[in-house]
A and B are shown apart, each in its own frame.
Chain A
Amino acid sequence: GENVEQHPSTLSVQEGDSAVIKCTYSDSASNYFPWYKQELGKRPQLIIDIRSNVGEKKDQRIAVTLNKTAKHFSLHITETQPEDSAVYFCAARNSGYSTLTFGKGTMLLVSP
């Protein structure tokens, strides 16, 4: 089955800095890669996703890049703010109606 590795497990940045979280996946047939943000005590919420037919997608301060050859994808957050502090999960799903496999999460702490 699919295996998703996520790094780093914790990331501390200063407000205004950029943050990058990286994930690798094992199944070359995977074609859908969402990212979820989970604030303390709340449910995971989808913040951005990318499909295998594109290499990059942006939404304001966040962007995701995908390298299918290397089987890795990354989340980039620019101009970080304290409210970006949360746990971020990457996930991958292969073709067909298989399930989402999640990474173990990255705790991002943005200090004012």
Chain B
Amino acid sequence: KAGVTQTPRYLIKTRGQQVTLSCSPISGHRSVSWYQQTPGQGLQFLFEYFSETQRNKGNFPGRFSGRQFSNSRSEMNVSTLELGDSALYLCASSLMGDYGYTFGSGTRLTVV
């Protein structure tokens, strides 16, 4: 079966712009979690969506937001980009959000 698909793979944006990243989970998975990966900080949790509802939220500013659609696809949005937002953004899907997280390949965002 198809894995977790993230688009786009690479993105270059200018400070102040906004960006939208997309994640399509494994078919049947209802939970999608987003993580920010940077070299010094590892994997930091952004938010989790389950059945179109945000179930958990990490400690990130309000510029980071997300949503989930009825087909479980999820998007995250970052507004007013800062240089420090440059990172690999990973999404992970699981059946119910409890076990067996499967990661996508990520979107590499570079802010210049």
Name A's B-contacting residues (CB within 8 A).
32, 34, 36, 42-46, 49, 89, 93, 97-105
Question: Which label, helix, strand, loop or mixed, suits the secondary structure of the B interface?
Answer: strand
Nearest chain-A residue to B108 (Cβ)? A41
With CB as the reference atom, state the residue of chain B lying closest to A102. B43
Chain B positions near chain A (C-beta within 8 angstroms): 31, 33, 35, 41-45, 48, 50, 55-56, 58, 90, 92, 96-106
Q: In the assembly, what is the distance between CA of A75 and CA of B42, in Å?
A: 18
Q: Is the CB of B100 within 8 A of A97?
A: no
What is the bound-complex CA distance between A45 and B92, given in angstroms? Answer: 10
Q: Add 14 more A-B contacts to A97-B97, A100-B101, A101-B45 (CB < 8 A).
A: A34-B99, A44-B103, A93-B98, A97-B50, A97-B55, A97-B98, A99-B45, A99-B56, A99-B58, A100-B92, A102-B43, A103-B42, A104-B42, A105-B43
Tell me the bound Cα distance from A101 to B43 in angstroms: 8
Contact between A97 and B96 (Cβ–Cβ < 8 Å)? yes
Partner of B101, one of A34, A97, A98, A104: A34
Question: Contacting B45 at CB < 8 Å: which of A44, A100, A105?
Answer: A100
A43–B90 contact, CB under 8 A?
yes
Q: Contact partner of B42 among A46, A49, A98, A105, CB < 8 A?
A: A105
Partner among A49, A100, A104 whose Cβ is within 8 Å of the Cβ of B33: A100
Contact A102–B99 (Cβ < 8 Å): no
